[in-house]
Structure formats: C-alpha cells, structure tokens
C-alpha cells in the first residue's frame, strides 16, 4: 500500500487579530473568504480522506509573506505536515528571510508570480535582484516552489541555467494550455524544462482539468510527462481548500483520473516523489 501524501494544501487561521490578512497584490482570494480551513480542519480532512501527510503551502493570497501561522501549524504537527513559506525574492534581505523561516522549521520557499488575484505573469521572475535567493537555495539544497504560468518559462530557464542545481516544483504544471492535444506544441516549454534534472511538477486538479480539455486527454498528457520527466518527478496535490469540494472528494477524483498508472508510477505520484523532494519522514499510516 502507498503512503498517500498530498503535495499542495493550505491553512488559514480564524484568528484575524493574531494573523491579519495581507495578501500579495492587495486582494484576498475568493476561495479563502468563502471556505477557509485552519490546521485542525486540514488534519480532520486528511483523516477523513486517508491522507497520511501533506505539504502546507503558504496561502499567499491571504497572508502574503507573513508565514507565522504556517510555521505555528507545522511546528505543532511535524509528523503530518511540511511547510512551504512565501518569499519576496527581490527583497534585499531575502537570504536572511530564508534563513529565518528555515530555522523556524519550514522547508523551502514559494515564489508567487501569478494567481487568481494576480492574473498574468509577473515580470520579476529571473530578475538579477532575485539571484541571491536562488544561489542560497541551490547551495543549501532548499526546495523552490513556483506559482507561475507557461509564459514565465523562458525566465525560469535563464535562472536554471545560472543555478542548474536548483530543486524546483511547478504548481499546477505551470498552468499550461493543453487543448491542442499531443504532442502539446503549445506548451512545449513545459517539456523543455525536463532537461533540468531538478525540475518537478505538481499534478493538481487544475492541471488534470486542463489535460481533459479540447483534443487532450489526461492519459495522453501523463504519457507525455512520463516519457520526459518520469514519475519520480511528478507529484499529486489537491490544492485543498482552494479547490472546490472536500479533500476526500479531491483524493477520489485524483485516484480515478490517474487510475491507469501502474503501481510503481502511482506510488511516486501519490507520495514517493513529494516525500523525497521535501525529505519527509514517512508516516506510519497507510492508505
């Protein structure tokens, strides 16, 4: 049996005074206003869904770069959660900020360059002012999570050429347009990134949904990813509670959508890859 690990969840406190809202871009996301989930709610949802462990990614459209609630949540549940903090890589003190949150027990940072409240692709990705953060992450083996679009791939490629040892995971597979179907020429940049060994992809509900549009099918997209990246660089994430529905329903949807994977590939996608990427100790609960 596979230890089921969710690569992409969020936690939001109900204590507005202790953890005030300060979203990146100045606008809070609709989902976080309509159906927020705190850490106790996340753990309860994980138990109900048979999820042993999860990566809690900073809710950037709620707290911006204030990662205190995330850090407190992870500190209280290290056996179940790993935390990924939000970072302003352009800030002069970016390296000191990385050191601060790593010492607080979080594991890797997220660069938020697009989202529902910030459509398009931010032009600061790959800017020289961000190089100290990339250099420090490469030197110390710190994972980098990227919320970006396909349009940001040239800037990412330029950065990875400078820091080829970087360990990177792309949220939602960088939001590709897959409607043209295999061989996916519209999103060729996503497959070009496979040349960098440290690049990994998150197969979230958003990415799986994109793979089912137009001339594409989920199986054809996965076949293309498996042939270029291999399952050891692919990880499934629910995006709970940003995604509509319960965590249990999202897990069910993920299992059904990827039911064609063989046992070895499924073991990687639904747990093995993310645990290796974030050096997570495997939980004892199996599903």
CA distances from 49 to 6, 89, 152, 155, 249 (A): 11, 35, 34, 38, 8
CATH number 3.20.20.140 is the correct assignment for the domain at 5-277:
yes
Instruction: Note the pLDDT of residue 286.
Output: 42
Give me the count of residues in the chain: 287
Instruction: Note the pLDDT of residue 121.
Output: 81
Mean pLDDT, the chain cut into blocks of 10 residues (287 residues total): 86 95 91 95 98 97 96 97 97 98 98 77 91 98 96 96 98 96 96 98 96 97 98 98 96 97 98 97 56
CA–CA dist 79, 84 (Å, integer) = 15
Instruction: Note the pLDDT of residue 122.
Output: 81
Domain ranges of the chain: 5-277
CA–CA dist 226, 230 (Å, integer) = 4
User: How many Å separate Cα 54 from the centre of its chain?
Assistant: 11
Cβ contact 84:8 at 8 Å: no
What residues have CB less than 8 Å from 261, skipping those under 6 apart?
222, 231, 269
Q: What is the model's pTM?
A: 0.94
Q: Which residues pair with 57 in a beta bridge?
A: 84
> Cα angle vertex 21, ends 54, 14, to 5°?
60
CA–CA dist 5, 286 (Å, integer) = 10
Tokens 């990687």 found at: 268
Burial 14-31 (b: 16+ CB within 10 A, else e): eeeeebeeebbeeebbeb
CA–CA dist 263, 63 (Å, integer) = 38
Widest CA span of the chain, in angstroms?
50
Tell which residue, 227, 145, 213, has the closest CA to residue 180: 213
CA distances from 50 to 249, 252, 261 (A): 11, 10, 19
Instruction: Note the pLDDT of residue 3.
Output: 80
Burial 179-206 (b: 16+ CB within 10 A, else e): eebeebeebebbbebeebebbbbbbbbb
Instruction: Note the pLDDT of residue 88.
Output: 96
DSSP character string of 224-285: HHHHHT-GGGEEE---BTTSSS-HHHHHHHHHHHTTTS-HHHHHIIIIIHHHHHTTPPPPS-
């Amino acid at each position: 049996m596979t230890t089921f690990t969710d690569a992409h969840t969020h936690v939001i406190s109900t204590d507005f005074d202790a953890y005030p809202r300060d979203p990146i871009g100045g606008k809070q996301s609709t989902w976080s206003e309509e159906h927020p989930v705190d850490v106790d709610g996340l753990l309860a949802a994980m138990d109900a869904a048979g999820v042993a462990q999860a990566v809690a990614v900073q809710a950037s459209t709620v707290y911006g770069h204030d990662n205190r609630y995330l850090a407190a949540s992870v500190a209280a549940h290290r056996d179940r959660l790993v935390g990924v903090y939000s970072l302003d890589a352009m800030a002069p003190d970016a390296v000191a900020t990385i050191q601060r949150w790593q010492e607080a027990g979080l594991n890797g940072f997220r660069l938020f360059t697009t989202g529902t409240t910030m459509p398009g692709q931010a032009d600061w990705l790959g800017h020289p002012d961000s190089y100290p953060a990339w250099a420090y992450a490469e030197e110390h083996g710190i994972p980098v999570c990227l919320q970006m679009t396909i349009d940001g791939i040239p800037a990412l490629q330029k950065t990875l050429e400078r820091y080829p040892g970087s360990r990177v995971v792309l949220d939602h597979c960088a939001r590709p347009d897959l409607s043209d179907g295999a061989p996916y020429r519209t999103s060729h940049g996503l497959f070009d990134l496979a040349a960098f060994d440290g690049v990994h992809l998150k197969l979230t509900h958003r990415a799986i949904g994109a793979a089912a549009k137009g001339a594409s099918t989920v199986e054809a997209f996965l076949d293309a990813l498996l042939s270029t990246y291999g399952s050891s660089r692919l990880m499934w994430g629910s995006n709970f509670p940003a995604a509509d529905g319960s965590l249990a329903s999202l897990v069910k949807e993920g299992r059904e959508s990827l039911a064609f994977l063989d046992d070895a590939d499924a073991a990687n996608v639904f747990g093995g890859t993310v645990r290796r990427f974030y050096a997570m100790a495997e939980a004892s609960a199996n599903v």
